[in-house]
């Protein structure tokens, strides 16, 4: 508020004040306006009594009382108006005091204080005078003068209420300070008021908790979404797995179809269930294996069984567990890895009514083989190259088979080809991806099977050597092809005969003819077929086996290295 001394001599335009509403004017101005209406010069009266009135009002209580000075006031001339004279300083002090009391005290005490002050002002004025609206206003002029402060305080309070429901309400409802504390604040002017406002505007710890809670609430939907997605995936996998299990228990087909199934010596339940799936008798080998273990079908009966593709798992395993269901008249024949076709035919002829010549004739019958190509896709036209000795050579999968004593060459051959199909289907996609023909893969597999034996690593390395030679346009120079060419009995352990006949005239002789021979030279196993599809990536061009020692195969990049290995391990 500006200093009163600077405005002491300024004339007051009361006509202009008449046009202003009471709510705009301060309390002191309203009183002076009333005195002006009663014919009293408020400026003169104020100048004469400023000193004395100020001293009296500073010592008196905060309530506004009537003028009780023993000395007659200069304005006693007009006895009809006994309006108390208030200096500007006193009005300012009273206004500040009431402002402090309003902020410090609860709303109930604030209303009582305002009513008391209003009644005191009314009593100070003559009963005949009209009481200005400003003196009965619930919001006295001091609030108008501090309206900006109160408006800021109210905005701060509204903001705090929006942030949290309880902390600021509790602060507003605290009990009023003691009278001594109020007096102490009065002597310091308006500082307590602004300190309280600052105190109200400072953030509370609860606000930080509220903000953290809001952030947590915003994160909650994301967590819920993630959990929902995980649950949905889990349910989907559960349903998918349940559906697969359900399908695994269903028969392979609804129509009855009797097939022959052989359980060979040494096969485990896992191998049996896999063979059942490969031959199209059941749907899911894993489900069948778990079911067999759960139902304790642990007893394995070797032999040949007649099964039906429309049977349930329980009926299939019940049949396979019954020795009486095995064909008592069946005879087992084992084709080993590396057997020639003529060897397999001889074994079958020993236990069946089919002769070896009947089987060799069928295996060399192009028309019959072509009629089986639709059923057995690994049989292709590449089998019929010029110079091929037996067309079915290399396509008779090694395994143990059970044949009826009274059977036919066609039935025997189809049983063997069923097993060959099961092996082929495992690698059909890889063969296609390799870019090589099925006939070339089976031919290479037969050569490396003969050269490297059963070691998977040696099979892959030897395959790498031969593919390196083919890429370099070098002859394979494999002695085992000469052995097949001269029809030497490999069981005699006379491998020197193959080594010394490298000039033997035959399309199978890879010393005289570049590239692969016309067809396979024996019946390779599954491991050799996989090695022919996926050979080792090496830079070897030569190898030799220590036939006098432990059979280790030694590889060489150059012919000089190879000669050194031969001298060291063969010519010692």
pLDDT at residue 217 in the model: 61
Residues of the chain with pLDDT under 70: 1-29, 36, 38-220, 328-329, 488-496, 572
pLDDT at residue 33 in the model: 72
Please, what is the angle between helix 27-37 and helix 88-104, to 10°? 140
pLDDT at residue 464 in the model: 97
Contacts of 142 (CB under 8 A, 6+ apart): 26, 27, 94, 95, 96, 98, 99
pLDDT at residue 561 in the model: 94
Q: Provide the CB-side half-sphere exposure for 76 (13 A, CA).
A: 8
Instruction: Spell 11-38 as b/e; 16+ CB within 10 A means b.
Output: eeeeeebeeeebeebbbbbbbbbbbbee
Considering only CA atoms, which of 461, 442, 482 is closest in space to residue 542? 461
Model confidence, pTM: 0.51
| CB-CB contact of 403 with 330 (8 Å) | yes
pLDDT at residue 156 in the model: 60
Location of structure tokens 């504390």: 181
pLDDT at residue 83 in the model: 43
pLDDT at residue 61 in the model: 45
**Spacing of C-alpha 448 from chain mean position:** 46
Q: Express each pLDDT in 492-511 by its tens digit.
A: 556 567 777 888 889 999 99
pLDDT at residue 160 in the model: 55
pLDDT at residue 129 in the model: 46
């Amino acid at each position: 508020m500006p200093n009163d001394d600077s405005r002491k001599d300024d004339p007051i335009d009361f006509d202009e004040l008449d046009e202003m509403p009471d709510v705009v004017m301060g309390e002191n101005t309203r009183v002076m306006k009333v005195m002006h209406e009663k014919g009293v010069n408020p400026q003169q009266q104020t100048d004469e009594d400023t000193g004395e009135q100020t001293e009296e009002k500073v010592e008196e209580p905060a309530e506004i009382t009537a003028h009780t000075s023993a000395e007659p006031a200069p304005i006693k001339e007009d006895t009809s108006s006994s309006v108390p004279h208030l200096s500007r300083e006193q009005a300012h002090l009273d206004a500040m005091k009431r402002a402090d009391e309003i902020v410090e005290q609860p709303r109930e005490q604030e209303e009582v204080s305002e009513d008391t002050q209003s009644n005191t002002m009314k009593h100070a004025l003559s009963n005949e005078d009209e009481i200005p609206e400003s003196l009965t206003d619930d919001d006295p002029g001091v609030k108008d003068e501090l309206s900006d402060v109160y408006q800021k305080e109210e905005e701060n309070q509204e903001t705090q209420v929006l942030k949290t429901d309880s902390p600021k309400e509790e602060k507003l409802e605290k009990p009023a300070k003691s009278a001594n504390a109020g007096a102490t604040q009065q002597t310091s002017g308006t500082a307590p008021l602004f300190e309280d406002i600052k105190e109200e505007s400072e953030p509370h710890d609860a606000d930080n908790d509220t903000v953290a809670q809001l952030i947590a609430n915003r994160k909650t939907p994301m967590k819920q979404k993630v959990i929902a997605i995980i649950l949905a995936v889990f349910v989907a996998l559960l349903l998918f797995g349940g559906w697969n299990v359900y399908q695994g228990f269903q028969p392979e087909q609804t129509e009855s179809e009797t097939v022959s199934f052989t359980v060979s010596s040494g096969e485990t339940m896992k191998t049996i269930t896999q063979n059942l799936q490969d031959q199209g008798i059941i749907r899911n080998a894993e489900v069948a294996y778990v079911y067999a273990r759960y139902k304790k079908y642990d007893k394995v009966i070797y032999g040949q069984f007649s099964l039906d593709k429309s049977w349930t798992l329980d009926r299939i395993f019940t049949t396979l567990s019954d020795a009486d269901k095995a064909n008592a008249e069946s005879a087992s024949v084992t084709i080993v890895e590396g057997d020639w076709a003529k060897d397999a035919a001889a074994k079958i002829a020993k236990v069946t009514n089919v002769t070896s010549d009947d089987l060799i004739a069928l295996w060399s019958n192009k028309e019959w083989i072509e009629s089986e190509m639709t059923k057995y896709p690994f049989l292709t036209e590449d089998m019929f190259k010029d110079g091929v000795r037996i067309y079915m050579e290399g396509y008779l999968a090694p395994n143990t088979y059970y044949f009826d004593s009274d059977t036919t060459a066609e039935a025997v051959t189809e049983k063997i080809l069923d097993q060959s199909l099961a092996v082929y289907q495992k690698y059909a996609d890889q063969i296609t991806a390799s870019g090589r023909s099925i006939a070339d893969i089976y031919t290479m597999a037969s050569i490396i099977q003969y050269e490297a034996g059963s070691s998977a690593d040696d099979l892959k390395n030897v395959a790498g050597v031969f593919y390196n030679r083919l890429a370099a346009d070098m002859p394979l120079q494999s002695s085992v092809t000469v052995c097949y060419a001269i029809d030497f009995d490999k069981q005699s352990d006379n491998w020197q005969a193959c080594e010394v006949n490298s000039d033997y005239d035959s399309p199978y002789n890879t010393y005289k003819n570049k590239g692969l021979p016309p067809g396979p030279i024996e019946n390779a196993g599954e491991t050799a077929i996989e090695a022919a599809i996926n050979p080792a990536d090496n830079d070897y061009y030569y190898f030799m086996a220590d036939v006098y020692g432990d059979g280790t195969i030694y590889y060489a990049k150059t012919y000089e290295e190879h000669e050194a290995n031969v001298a060291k391990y063969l010519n010692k």
